[in-house]
Structure 1
Amino acid sequence: MRDIIKTAAELLTVLRNKKPLVHNITNYVTVNDCANIILAVGASPIMADDLGEAADITAISSALVLNIGTLNRRTLESMLASGKKANLLGIPVIFDPVGAGASALRNEATKTILTEIKVGVLRGNMSEISHIAGLGSNTKGVDASEEDIAAGDALAIAVSVSKKLRCVTAITGATDIITDGNRIAAVSNGHKMLSGVTGTGCMTTALIGAYCGAGEDAYTAAVAGIASMGLAGELAYEAAGGKGTGSFHVAIIDAISRLDEKILLERARIHEK
């Protein structure tokens, strides 16, 4: 088996050379951050959520990212149309079920997307993925609850969901777990200040979309995207953490823009089980 850190680092170089177009139907609170993080890693973002063009934009893209952070029925229709187009054309779909478990509408939307669209990567926090696993959750809005984090077995839940949905599942937290049901990786990069900036989860999903658009292995793409965000948190703290969360926020984008194979090889903390 090739070393996952080396494989992820090489994928970053492929991404920067390929510059894949990544279509995002995403959270309007964080849409600007998602666009900038995709640009910073070397890909090209496009945000098109009107039903009249969403599927057409997906058709010319290398990956599709769906994020229900600011869910409404209008964009849900666009997500379904785009997801079905992506499936038809073999374009990877990355789904972020923000707040799943928090409301009937979010639960309905999550179930519909996972039923009608073949998702390649599912990324969420412990509460969101626990809900999808059918275990119930104590979700705190769009954040994972302390109860779910303390009580849940992230590895077992991620493997179960991956096998059920036949996709890569990533549960992000203090230690991130990524699995395709067979391969399992734990990523321990990151910094606690990341939780103080809105949108870091959305940005992580967007990064996974960029890596998926550059390569063919969704598991490697998910590991690379999550490790990249964790490293960005560490580097941003070193550069600007003492200045406060505003400077830290900007430094995350700076760190991703300067990320390269050498940094990943030297600093990524990824363990395959």
Structure 2
Amino acid sequence: METSKTLQAFLLIAHLISSGFADDGCKFNMKTYAAGETLMIFPEACMYLECIYFEPGDIEGQPGVPDEGYYIKVTILDRNDCDECCIHDGKLYGPGQWVHKSHDDCIRSTCINGNWVDKDETDTCCVYSDGFDDKFYVDGETIKIDDCLRIWCNASVVVEEDYECCCETDNEIYECGEFLPNPWGCIFEKCVDGTIVNVIIEGCCEHHGVTYMNGEIIGNGDDLCNYMRCVNGTVRLEHNDDCKLAAACKLFLFIITPSKETGLITEWLMNGLDLVALM
């Protein structure tokens, strides 16, 4: 039986991953990556590997909190069914997410099952000058962020929104008290008094590189006869009488998890033969 491209990519990791970490970054495939750099992207599995530098801060020494240092972080984006993700400028986008590729037009590009679908939205576009040239921004797009002031396009009208307390990072703005996306296990980043800090969410579960809140079904529970649920920090097995076979793509959620010692834990290798059979 022919192995899928996604599985081939996972098998490739076994040959590329390094067992060590450099003092100045993550060592991967004979190269050293700085914090924030993407190591590898798998659009079919909606997954990417990123080098991060973790500083525990106030949660240092608590159970399950890693030491300060460089780590390879695995991120899996949300998606419906088996839809694939899209890549633009070296960044992964999930199904339904959009980008505005050029400020010379009003074309919004939306990720639809691995492909970018363009739509002209001139009627709801905004024109904003940077002091030199007029640029176009689509509805909902952030134009500029400066000292807790967000300037954005709202249905052809340029709006200025001032936050009393915020954190700014990666051209995004978060209000104080708001959590940032893409946690690392049960460790979340939160905006507190204008500073991004690490916090541990009580009752959450980390299962093979994916974070689940208390009470949340793990994987694709609606399709599985025997599925798992996060209950007060513990993964429990439950049964669904009205079940059907799960989509094969969901199985990828159960085979990847980060580890400082090896970059990726090797449990997925033990499941490799079963995965091939399912493909």
Q: TM-score, normalised by structure 1?
A: 0.24
Q: TM-score, normalised by structure 2?
A: 0.24
Q: Max radius of gyration: which structure?
A: 2
Greater per-residue strand proportion: 2
Query: Quick one: higher RCO (CA 8 Å, sep 6+), 1 or 2?
Result: 1
